[in-house]
Structure formats: structure tokens, C-alpha cells
Amino acid sequence: MQNETAWRPSKFVRHGDSWRGSRDPAALSRASRVTADLQAAAYADALATHASGHLLDLGCGTVPAYGMFRDRVDRITCVDWADSPHPGVHVDHVADLREPLPLPDEQYDTVLLTDVLEHMPYPDALFAELRRVLRPRGRLVVGVPFLYGLHEEPHDHHRYTEHRLRLFCEDHDLEVLELYPYGGHVAVALDLASKMLGAFPPTRLVAGVPALFASPALGRRRTPLPLGYVLVARRPSADVSEVSSDR
């Protein structure tokens, strides 16, 4: 990770013993706090359990989750687009994520892909690359929005259900370890309200719309109206073809 000592919190910040969205409007708009609070809690939980070894952060941007995983990994490699809308001072490799990654096979113990997959027009190609660069038994941590507005247009292509995320893993020989939503009916309503109000000049009401009723404790309940999902998958210890040839 380039300029590691220069890293500063951006989208996510520590709040006591947990994580939440930044309250600095220069880092995160007030209208995005509901979603960011829930993302922060969900991503921190997944990384606390699954991050290890050499971590690859794809579509890294400002590396907002760095504080969540830095004490759990030995090495960090950051990759981002050449035309990323986020500052790239920590980027090790500039790459087009729609193309084969300029990275060696079976190099990484953890691959992090948060709020990136929806921007991929042909996601199966990226999933094939994710599996290729993961070491056997390496972990993939993916975060995607579901009930969320268009963003970073025109590069916003998909919203995924839990069923499609499972199918990605099935198609690319990855074992699903965890798959759960963040946010539900109340969080979706709060997020929509904060974004609608945010279209007007700032008011105390807009400034005070954190995820008050969107507790992360409610986040893992299955819901037909999630704000988004977190997927954790694992590459098998050996390819099926390798196992068959050994018999």
C-alpha cells in the first residue's frame, strides 16, 4: 500500500468500540450517513472474522476500510481504476477491473471488493479473476448495495440479490461462508428520506439523520428490502480436477 503512513479515515471512522460513517461532510454527505453507518458495521464485522495474510483491496479508492483490517493482515496491495473518482494516493497498481488483472495467480489470502461489483458491466469476468488470484482457502469479502440510488454514472450497472451472489460463487467454484443483508425496511425509509431532504438547502433535520433506528444488530435478519449485502466466500483447498487426478 503506497503512502501507508499518510492514510487518514475518510468514509468510515471509529466510534468507541465500533465503526460508523464519517460525520465530516467533506468525507461523506449527510444524506449517505444511514447507509454508511450500516456498511461500516457490516464490513468491520466481516473483516474482523475473515481478513488475514496478504490482503488485496480492489477498487480501493481512499481505502476507507483500512482501519478495520490493518491490524489483522501482514501486507496490503491496493488496486484502482485510472479514472477513479476517488484520490489514488495509496494505489499500488492502476488497472481496468473489466480486464484480466495484472496480478499473479494464488497470491492473496484475502480479497476485498466493497461497493465495486455494481460498477462492473460484465461481472463474471471479474469473479473468474477473483478466484484466480486467491490462494487456496483464501477469503473473498464482497459488499454490494441493493436498494440504493444510481451513483458514479454512467458506470452503474447492477443491483444483486442474495440469490445472484450465491450463483456467482457456484459458477466460479467458491464456497459461500456468510451472506447477509445490512439494513431493512426502516433503514431504507430513512435513507430515502435523508436523500430527498438533502436535495433542499441543509436543515437541522437533514443534518441530524444518522441511522438512529437502523441498528446493526437488526442487520442480519433476512429481509426482502435490504439496503445491501455482504458476501464472504472461500476458494476451495484444491481444484476438483486436481483432486480427481490424484485418485
pLDDT at 206: 43
pTM for this model (two decimals)? 0.90
145: exposed, middle or buried (Cβ count in 10 Å: 0-12, 13-18, 19+) = buried
pLDDT at 153: 81
Helix (H, G, I), strand (E, B) or coil at 213: coil
pLDDT at 150: 84
pLDDT at 28: 93
As a whole number of angstroms, the distance between CA 158 and CA 153 comes to 12
**Is 227 in contact with 148 (CB distance < 8 Å)?**
yes
As a whole number of angstroms, the distance between CA 118 and CA 160 comes to 8
For residue 142, the Cα-to-chain-centroid distance in whole angstroms is 5
Per-residue pLDDT of the chain in tens (247 residues, 90 and over written 9)? 999 999 999 999 999 999 999 999 999 988 899 999 999 999 999 999 999 999 999 999 999 999 999 999 999 999 999 988 887 899 999 999 999 999 999 999 999 999 999 999 999 999 999 999 999 999 999 999 999 988 878 889 999 999 999 999 999 999 999 999 999 888 898 888 888 876 554 444 444 444 454 444 445 677 889 999 999 999 999 765 444 444 4
Is the bond preceding residue 154 a cis peptide, omega within 30 degrees? yes
